[in-house]
Amino acid sequence: MARIELEGISHTYDPPSVPETQREYAVSNLDISWPDGSANALLGPSGCGKTTILNIISGLLQPTVGRVLVDGKDVTPLAPRERKIAQVFQFPVVYDSMNVFDNLAFPLRNQKVPEKAIGKKVRETAEILDLEDLLKARITRLNAADKQKISLGRSIIREDTAAVLLDEPLTVIDPKFKGGLRRKLREVQNRLKKTMVYVTHDQHEALTFADNVTIIKDGHLIQQGTPHELHSQPASPFIGYFIGSPGMNLLDCTLQDSALQFSDFHLPVSQEMKNKLGSAGNGLKFGIRPEVVDIATREQAGAVAFTVSVIEYTGAYRVLTCDRESSRIKARVSESIPVTEGDRIWVSFPEEKLNLFFNEKRIV
C-alpha cells in the first residue's frame, strides 16, 4: 500500500525534433496526490489523457516533464516492475493455457513464493473474488467478467503491491455482469484498502467506485473532490453537465437590474444574490439540477410557464423535457405529479439551489 503523487507532470508524444511551440501535450501540469489506501477515480471523456496518466504512474511511459512519487520516493527513473504497481486493462490479461488457479498463482511463482503459501494465498484471493468454484476451470470456458476478476486477482495477490490501476476495466463486460463486477471492485478496495486508481469515461462508474474523483479534460485537471462535492459544487458548466443524470440544466443569461434575464423570461433575484454576482453582468451561465426544479400544474407567483414536450419513465422517477420558445430544461419529478406530454406547467427555480458560472467558472 502506498501514497501516490504526481508532481508537475506533462507529457507529449511528439518527438524532440518537433519545436517546443508546436508540440501537442496529451497531459499538462498535473499535480495529484492519492492517499495511502484510498479509492480514487480519474474521470474524463475519451482522448483526455487518462491512459497516458496511468502509464506514467506504472512506468510504461516516461513523462516529458515531472515526477512520480510513491510514499514520497521518486520512482520516475524506475522500470515498471520495480515500482510494484499493478495494472488491470480494458481486456482481461489471462493465460488461456492455464487454469484459474495457475493464473492466480503466476505472480507469486514469479516471486519464488513457496508452493504451500501460494495455495493459501490463491484460495484467499479466490474467496474475495467469488472464484473458489472455478479454480480448476479452464480459462477458455469463462466469460469476460470472470476473466476480468482473474486479472484483478493477479493484481492484488502480491502482498507488496503498492497500488492497483484499473483502465476502463468494464469496457468488454456484458451489460448484465457490469453492475456485479463494479460492486465487486468496490468491495475488494474496501476490504484490502489498497490504493486504487480507477479510470473511466463513465461518471456512474467513477462516482460509485471512488471516494475521490479527479476530472480531466483535454489533459488538464479541472476538478477534484468527493462525488458529493462534484455534484453539488461543479467548478464549471462542463462538470455540471458531465456529472449527474440527467446533467445540470444550463442556460445563458445576463444580470439586469435585479433580475436574471434569459432569452424569453426573467427571474428576480435577491440582493444577496446580486452581491454575489458582483460586476459579472453579461455572459452568465445559469445552472440548476433537474432534481431541484419545482414543478406546479397551476399558475404560481414567480414561476415560469413551460410546455412538457417529452416524458421519460425510469420506474423510480420521470424526466420531463420542458420547452418555452428558445429555452429548454429538464426536470426530474416523482411518479405522482399528474402531467402528460403537451401539458402546460409552471416551473420555479429555488435561489439557494442555483449555480452561476462566468467565463466557464463557478461564481455562485
- Smallest distance, ligand ADP to C-beta of residue 167, A: 7
Of 146 and 168, the one with the shorter C-beta distance to Mg ion is 168
User: CB of 149: closest distance to ligand ADP in angstroms?
Assistant: 23
Residue closer to ligand ADP (CB basis): 52 or 125: 52
For residue 94, count other CB atoms closer than 10 A to its CB: 22
DSSP states along 350-361: -GGG-EEEETTE
Per-residue string for binding with ligand ADP, 39-68, x by CB under 6 A?
-----x-xxxxxxx----------------
271 binds ligand ADP (CB under 6 A): no
What is the rounded CA–CA span in Å between residue 263 and residue 260? 10
CB of 11 to Mg ion, least distance (A): 14
Q: How do 284-288 and 249-256 pair as beta strands?
A: antiparallel
For Mg ion, the nearest residue by Cβ is 51
Report the partner that residue 47 touches, choosing among Mg ion, ligand ADP, none (CB closer than 5 to 8 A by kind). ligand ADP
Q: How many residues lie near ligand ADP (CB under 6 A)?
A: 10
Within residues 8-27, the interface with ligand ADP by CB under 6 A covers: 13, 26
Closest CB to ligand ADP among residues 146, 168: 168
Q: Whose CA is closest to 29, among 43, 11, 10?
A: 10
Shortest spacing between CB 47 and Mg ion, in angstroms: 8
Alpha-helical segments (H) within the chain: 50-58, 80-83, 100-110, 115-128, 144-156, 175-192, 203-209, 227-232, 237-242, 271-277
Return d(Cα 109, Cα 128) in angstroms, integer. 20
Q: What is the C-alpha separation between 169 and 130, in angstroms, rounded?
A: 18
CA angle 275, 277, 282 (to 5 degrees): 135
Distance CA 284, CA 273 (A): 13
151: Cα separation from own chain's centroid:
21
Q: How far apart are CA 327 and CA 311, in angstroms?
A: 17
Choosing among Mg ion, ligand ADP, none, which partner's interface includes residue 149 (Cβ < 5 to 8 Å by kind)?
none
Distance between CA atoms of residues 126 and 306, nearest Å:
56
Instruction: Return the residue of 51, 151, 155, 236 that touches Mg ion, per CB under 5 A.
Output: 51
Question: How many residues make contact with Mg ion (CB under 5 A)?
Answer: 2
**Choice between 186 and 220, CB closer to ligand ADP:** 220
CB 240, min distance to ligand ADP, A: 21
Compare residues 50 and 285 and give the one whose CB is closer to Mg ion.
Answer: 50
* Cell numbers describing residue 145: 467478467
Report in angstroms how near the CB of residue 32 gets to ligand ADP at its nearest: 15
Q: Which of residues 71-130 bind Mg ion (CB under 5 A)?
A: none
**What minimum distance in Å lies between the beta carbon of 216 and ligand ADP?**
7
Residues that bind ligand ADP (CB under 6 A): 13, 26, 44, 46-52
Contact positions vs Mg ion (CB under 5 A): 50-51
